[in-house]
Chain A
Amino acid sequence: MVVTGVGVVSSIGTGADAYARGLREGRSGARPIEAFDTTGFAHATGCEVVGFDPELWLRRVPVAEAGRATQFAIASARMALDDAGIGEDGLRDRRGLVSVGTTDGGSDDGERLAASFVHDGPAAADPAAARRVPASRLATGVARDLGLADVEVSTIATACAAGNYAIGGGVDAIRTGEADYALCGGADALCRMTFTGFYRLGAVDPDRCRPFDVDRHGIHTGEGGAVLLLEPLDDALARGARIYAEVLGYGLNCDAHHQVAPHGESVARCMALALDDAGISPGDVDLISAHGTGTKANDVTECGAIHSVFGADGDVPPTVSVKSMLGHTMGAASALGAVACALGIDGGFIPPTINHTETDPECAVDCVPNTAVDAELGVVANNALAFGGNNAVLVLGRPA
């Protein structure tokens, strides 16, 4: 099974080419947050998508019926199809799957409704906004806008690992023969509630997002969307498609331990499950796209897990965090990571971990600091962890 198209909305570039350039240049999407009122917060830097025009992408779903995350999902899916050189008409007679991962879904609309109720009472009702709140709108919006009737749709709400969960769902539906193609990924819009929560937990870096750095202080909340088109290899070859990467496998598990603190042993188990599913050994992996949020706890725990799977220091492949550039885009994060991996395999480069000064000895990974490097990548693992102990690891490889 292979990746034949990618679509991206991000703070460092929209569309596969612009996103790839952003990754190669080590661009930062960080800027003062404008998506919501940040009065009263001592600092409020985030990775916001600016200049996104939903009118350019939404053809059938009225813009007023689509929340911002749904708009990102639709735009990303359209770009993925354009990128793959497939028109939506070419998908109508094939059974497909549309799966979009998200943390907040329509919560940005939900919190605006809540705020207006708190300040103005029930008179300030907004039926259109209330209809945008159910998260199922993300995946259904993609199908509706592309006019795809015979598709299995699911919005996967497994928080910050949702993108990889959604991609995994597509992988299994194609493996079992229940789908001929899968449009899968993730989308999230900046949400005041999420920002406030991480801020209160002391997990937002006031200055720069610097995963694995000894001076890191947390995440930057971000937003965006990413969708990958997955197809069976034979179908892709039959139509002479461009193939970015082969999907080798994935793994899922749950820490079953703590709501917010990841557990290294369980994260290691998830990586091992993914490698097993892909039929490869740790030594085959050339790059890890880490969850790498930039919080003290995540990076130490995740790197510890990586060391336990990949052995002594010398055997650990380069381990990068694209969140240093994109911020933490929540449910979109691992989908954006997966696209970064596919682009890296296709373009022969490793995206850098920017804002890096000194590697935390407790992390002890080669995070490819600040500058992208050229590399022939055979196998790449893309990690995702989430509150609730939800882990998902995706393994991509260079097409044969």
Chain B
Amino acid sequence: MTGAVITAWSAISACGIGAAAHRVAYGDPARRLRPTAVGEPVPAEAHVAADFDVTEALGPKGTSSMDRCSGLAVAAAADLLAPGERPQGHFGCIQRNQSAPGGIAPPSGIGVVLGTTSGSAQTQFDFTRESQTRSKPYRVNPALMPFALMNSAAGQTAIWHGLTGPNTTIAGGRMSGLSTLRYGARLLATGRADAVLCGAVEEYGPARQRLADQRKPDDADGRPLGEGGAVLLLEPAAHAPAGHVDPDRTDANRTDTDRTDANRPGGRVPLAELLGIDTRVAVDDDPAAALEVCIRRTLDRAGAAASDVRTVAVSGPPGPLAGAERDAVARTLAHADVRDPGEIIGDTGAATGPFQVTLLLDRPGLALTTAVDEDGTVGCGLLRVP
């Protein structure tokens, strides 16, 4: 038991913007979009988040140099913090960036934990290209630099929404979903945050496509890349009991009067309880066996039988690793229904993990999410959907 529950989610991908658009595509294969040709300069097919434009979503101020990773994160988070409020046609953010006058935001108690592979590959590439091709190597756009850092998406999410809680970026690759949920649950357990936005984003661009192509030169039949981000709202179970609002969770009982109501989620009905997470490193290069150990141990710790798990979402890594992941699942959870977000939205890299979770929330019972990364890490997370 991690003591944490997922109470809301939001996502942006080729399926569209917001949870509702994703539920539609998840539920009806006929509504799923084919990958589109992305052409020059790297000919490929990809599932791009075509409905999402950073400036359109967030407005012109603070976005002229913003990468799509950061834009996706800020926009996806907005949905969880101010549902239904999108003034000026935007996502309804408190834009506390660059030019914001006055002091800092009051302590919000809301943390942000986002996963990544290596940040915005496109920003990093563009920055290097400028430096390599201009008359002086420092004739670069300095505004790109903070966006080139891997913590940009998490930092921007905090800046735009005034979230002063712990703000952590985990470069977990395909393990990001599990890593951010475990880290977030621990922030709740240790009292460092009252609620945590856990998720990951992955942009599509020629720089990422080139890196993917180079990493797997022999994987010509590989799955198209996908773009998107998914963010889960994680809260302590005690704060969000199923079906009713905890009377203790009222403003009068809060000692910290600085906290703003607008940013505090409250009284949400849990969508899933996070029962446990386990990860391992396949040091003997047998990821299937390592994942099998994780799955069995996670079920044991939760006192659950393999036959209780009704649904599994796999991470679908490139190449033979996908087979290893499926093998481990088949050996342990032969009767479960297996789902794979990559079949719907393409390979969204670090964002695969949170997308996997969003695929499991429609079916009551135990559900398992698995992950296998090219770096040799494997793991799983067990959820109970009410």
Binding site for B on A (CB under 8 A): 39-41, 60, 102-103, 105-107, 110-111, 113-115, 117-119, 122, 125-127, 129-131, 133-138, 140, 143-144, 147-159, 162, 165, 169, 172-173, 175-176, 178, 192-193, 196-201, 252-260, 263, 265-266, 269, 386-390
Please state if A263 and B104 are interface contacts (CB–CB under 8 Å): yes
Please state if B138 and A41 are interface contacts (CB–CB under 8 Å): yes
Asked if B51 is at the interface (CB within 8 A of a chain A CB), the reply is no
Please state if B163 and A256 are interface contacts (CB–CB under 8 Å): yes
Q: List 24 A-B contacts (CB under 8 A).
A: A110-B211, A115-B128, A118-B128, A125-B213, A129-B214, A130-B214, A135-B116, A136-B377, A143-B283, A157-B116, A172-B187, A175-B190, A176-B190, A193-B148, A196-B138, A252-B166, A253-B164, A254-B158, A254-B166, A256-B164, A257-B96, A259-B98, A388-B159, A390-B155
Contact (A155, B172) CB under 8 Å given A105-B150, A149-B280, A256-B161? yes
Contact among A158, A169, A172 with B151 in the assembled complex (CB-CB below 8 Å): A158
Please state if A257 and B116 are interface contacts (CB–CB under 8 Å): no
Please state if B159 and A257 are interface contacts (CB–CB under 8 Å): yes
Question: Nearest-CB distance from B190 to chain A (Å)?
Answer: 5
Question: Nearest-CB distance from A59 to chain B (Å)?
Answer: 12
Bound Cα distance A149, B281 (Å): 5
Contact among A60, A196, A199, A258 with B127 in the assembled complex (CB-CB below 8 Å): A196
Nearest A residue to B108, CB-CB: A256
Which residues from A are CB-within-8-Å of B210?
A: 117, 122
Asked if B375 is at the interface (CB within 8 A of a chain A CB), the reply is yes
1/0 contact string of B93-107 vs chain A (CB within 8 Å): 000111010011101
Contact (A255, B104) CB under 8 Å given A114-B124, A157-B119, A197-B127? yes
Contact (A153, B377) CB under 8 Å given A110-B118, A258-B159, A265-B104? yes
Which residues from B are CB-within-8-Å of A118?
A: 128-129, 132-133
Bound Cα distance A118, B128 (Å): 9
Which residues from A are CB-within-8-Å of B207?
A: 114
Which residues from B are CB-within-8-Å of A137?
A: 375
Contact among A103, A122, A152, A155 with B182 in the assembled complex (CB-CB below 8 Å): A152
Beyond A148-B283, A157-B116, A257-B105, 10 additional contacts (C-beta under 8 Å) are: A134-B118, A135-B118, A140-B373, A149-B280, A149-B282, A151-B281, A169-B186, A196-B137, A254-B155, A255-B164
Bound Cα distance A143, B156 (Å): 31
Which residues from B are CB-within-8-Å of A158?
A: 151, 154, 167-169
Please state if B146 and A254 are interface contacts (CB–CB under 8 Å): no
A-B interface pairs (CB < 8 A), number: 260
Bound Cα distance A5, B364 (Å): 47
Chain B interface, number of residues (Cβ within 8 angstroms) = 83
Which residues from A are CB-within-8-Å of B373?
A: 136, 140
Asked if B311 is at the interface (CB within 8 A of a chain A CB), the reply is no
Question: Nearest-CB distance from B209 to chain A (Å)?
Answer: 11
Asked if B217 is at the interface (CB within 8 A of a chain A CB), the reply is yes
Nearest B residue to A173, CB-CB: B186
Question: Nearest-CB distance from B258 to chain A (Å)?
Answer: 11
Please state if A111 and B137 are interface contacts (CB–CB under 8 Å): no
Which residues from B are CB-within-8-Å of A143?
A: 281, 283
Binding site for A on B (CB under 8 A): 96-98, 100, 103-105, 107-108, 112, 116-119, 121, 124-125, 127-129, 131-133, 136-138, 140, 142, 144-146, 148-152, 154-156, 158-159, 161-173, 175, 179, 182-183, 186-187, 189-190, 192, 207, 210-211, 213-217, 279-284, 290, 373-377
Contact among B133, B146, B164, B179 with A387 in the assembled complex (CB-CB below 8 Å): B146
Contact (A193, B124) CB under 8 Å given A150-B280, A256-B162? yes
Bound Cα distance A157, B3 (Å): 26
Question: Nearest-CB distance from B254 to chain A (Å)?
Answer: 18
Question: Nearest-CB distance from A96 to chain B (Å)?
Answer: 10
Which residues from A are CB-within-8-Å of B171?
A: 102, 105, 134-136, 138, 155-157
Please state if A388 and B170 are interface contacts (CB–CB under 8 Å): no
Question: Nearest-CB distance from B145 to chain A (Å)?
Answer: 3
Please state if B281 and A140 are interface contacts (CB–CB under 8 Å): yes
Q: Which of A111, A154, A165, A260 has the most CB of B within 10 A?
A: A154
Nearest B residue to A100, CB-CB: B171
Contact (A266, B215) CB under 8 Å given A157-B150, A193-B148? no
Question: Nearest-CB distance from B111 to chain A (Å)?
Answer: 8
Contact (A113, B214) CB under 8 Å given A134-B173, A158-B151? yes
Which residues from B are CB-within-8-Å of A102?
A: 171
Please state if B146 and A259 are interface contacts (CB–CB under 8 Å): yes
